[in-house]
Amino acid sequence: MQPFRGTYDQLPQLMRRHQYIIDKIRAVAITYGFEEMATPLFEYATVFNHTLGDTSDIVTKEMFAFPDRHGDLLALRPEGTAGIMRAVLSNKLVQQTPLKFFYTGPMFRYERPQKGRTRQFHQVGVEFIGEANPLADVEVIALAWQALKALGLEQSLTLEINTLGDTESRDAYRAALVSYFERHKGSLSEDSLIRLEKNPLRILDSKAAEDQEIKKGAPLMETYLNASSKEFFERVLVGLQALKIPYTLNPHLVRGLDYYCHTAFEITATGLGAQNTLLAGGRYDGLSTQMGGPSLPSVGWAAGIERLELVIPEIPAGVRPVSIVPLGIEAEEMALPLAFSLRDQGIPVDMIYEGGLKARLKQANKVNARYALIFGSDELAQKQILVKDLDLGTQIAVNVSKVSEHLKSIL
């Protein structure tokens, strides 16, 4: 029996890589004052329907939605931001803003599986909630850049950034896009025709072949920015320059949902082909009001862990255990309390019970043990344990009472 298409098992070697990524990013997030939180794996579907938009691919094609026994429509979370904002509102945290949250966990989207993209996938992300200052945008971008740098990726990264402007600027741009795309209705894809009526900015995200040439001639956002929007974006860019974080202006980088505004950014990496985005984020000042709450200007980003697993360098080897090799019943009776004592002192131990000495040492090498503790009745009679260096092939006899002290000195 195989796992469901688009899901996979995280066996120990992959799990170590997965956890290494989370630990590295979490450590950087802590230095920026972000605290970890988690939301449920499923929510009322309205949390995502109302925020992601009825025309988004996530809602129309990709969301795992199902009724519960009472007929309420639930959904496995397809992304993290909406659930975190719901948590802020339902837990009455509004008066405690600004809030800085770090999160990680599985997300679910019913889409065609491909390299670095699965139906159950994992994200790590941050949300800076309740802060309108453009320096908050700089801070979350800097956090992202340093986190990816901590993973050894700095040399292969490109930060692309754009501005969506404020509501006034966005409304003017939307009108210009509608006017432009209306003249090309006969050539647009079916999905883009639907978006033209409900969310024309999302046409700029279209991957349909028939839309590509049309998109190239579309008006650019920068033409419709008012003075305050230009000033906001300029402060973000000046902040990045002060931190010496390189960036590329990408006027085609947009967010189709109405609650997004001002800064939009992505960090891409070489070696992933067309699906090369590692991390994406932006400012979403309108999300809280769209969910029925007060105005909470916010900014954040999320990164796909599966994508990161494909591009990070080899991770350091895990902690190597000490293998205990008891030979005979008397030795086995002593092995358990010895292992318990060593583990209690923070020394990882792997017990090997079966087979001859040669087979057990082979098993010790298989689990990548650094040392093997070998003892039978003869060693116990002399109150000694043989400590074998599995890398060098050498061994010495150590008094039973000195074993933990000796291991601590050589590990």
What confidence tens digit (pLDDT) does each residue in 179-219 have?
A: 999 898 888 888 888 888 878 888 887 888 888 888 888 88
Strands 99-108 and 73-76 come out as: unpaired
Strands 277-283 and 73-76 come out as: unpaired
Token pair recorded at residue 33 = 């004052």
Q: State the pLDDT at residue 303.
A: 97
Question: Using an 8 Å Cβ cutoff, are 349 and 375 in contact?
Answer: no
pLDDT band at 123 (very low <50, low <70, confident <90, very high): very high
- Of 270 and 262, the structure prediction assigns the larger pLDDT to 262
Strands 371-375 and 349-351 come out as: unpaired
Q: State the pLDDT at residue 271.
A: 64
Q: State the pLDDT at residue 213.
A: 87
pLDDT band at 57 (very low <50, low <70, confident <90, very high): low
Q: What is the CATH number of domain 322-410?
A: 3.40.50.800
Tell me how far CA of residue 154 lies from CA of 33, 126, 145, 147, 150, in angstroms: 22, 19, 8, 9, 8
Q: State the pLDDT at residue 195.
A: 85
* Identity of the highest mean pLDDT range in 7-21, 124-138, 327-341, 391-405: 124-138
To the nearest whole number, what is the mean pLDDT of the chain? 91
355-397: pLDDT as tens digits: 999 999 999 999 999 999 999 999 989 999 999 999 999 999 9
Percent of all residues in the chain with a pLDDT value above 90, rounded to a whole number? 68
Residue 356, classed as helix, strand or coil, is coil
Report the amino acid identity of residue 129: I
Question: Using an 8 Å Cβ cutoff, are 283 and 322 in contact?
Answer: no
Report the amino acid identity of residue 221: M
Average pLDDT (126-155) is 96
Q: State the pLDDT at residue 254.
A: 84
Nearest to 174 by CA among 197, 200, 192: 200
Q: State the pLDDT at residue 19.
A: 96
Kindly tell me if the per-residue pLDDT of 234 is higher than 80.
Answer: yes
Q: How far, in Å, CA of 370 to CA of 338, rounded?
A: 17
- Of 377 and 276, the structure prediction assigns the larger pLDDT to 377
95-113: pLDDT as tens digits: 999 999 999 999 999 877 7
As annotated, the residues of the chain forming the CATH 3.30.930.10 domain(s) are 12-166+226-311
Tell me how far CA of residue 220 lies from CA of 217, 241, 261, 374, in angstroms: 9, 24, 15, 73
Percent of all residues in the chain with a pLDDT value above 70, rounded to a whole number? 96
Question: Using an 8 Å Cβ cutoff, are 169 and 222 in contact?
Answer: no
Kindly tell me if the per-residue pLDDT of 55 is higher than 60.
Answer: no
79-92: pLDDT as tens digits: 999 999 999 999 99
Sheet holding 248-249, edge to edge: 35-36, 99-108, 120-129, 298-304, 277-283, 261-269, 157-163, 248-249
Report the amino acid identity of residue 384: Q
As annotated, the residues of the chain forming the CATH 3.40.50.800 domain(s) are 322-410
Token pair recorded at residue 145 = 């850049």
The structural architecture, per CATH, of the domain 12-166+226-311 is 2-Layer Sandwich (3.30)
53 DSSP β-pair partners: none
Token pair recorded at residue 359 = 């087979």
9-35: pLDDT as tens digits: 899 889 999 999 999 999 999 999 999
Average pLDDT (55-63) is 64
Q: How far, in Å, CA of 359 to CA of 162, rounded?
A: 61
- For residue 90, the surrounding DSSP H or E stretch is helix 81-90
321-330: pLDDT as tens digits: 999 999 999 9
138-152: pLDDT as tens digits: 999 999 999 999 999
pLDDT band at 274 (very low <50, low <70, confident <90, very high): low
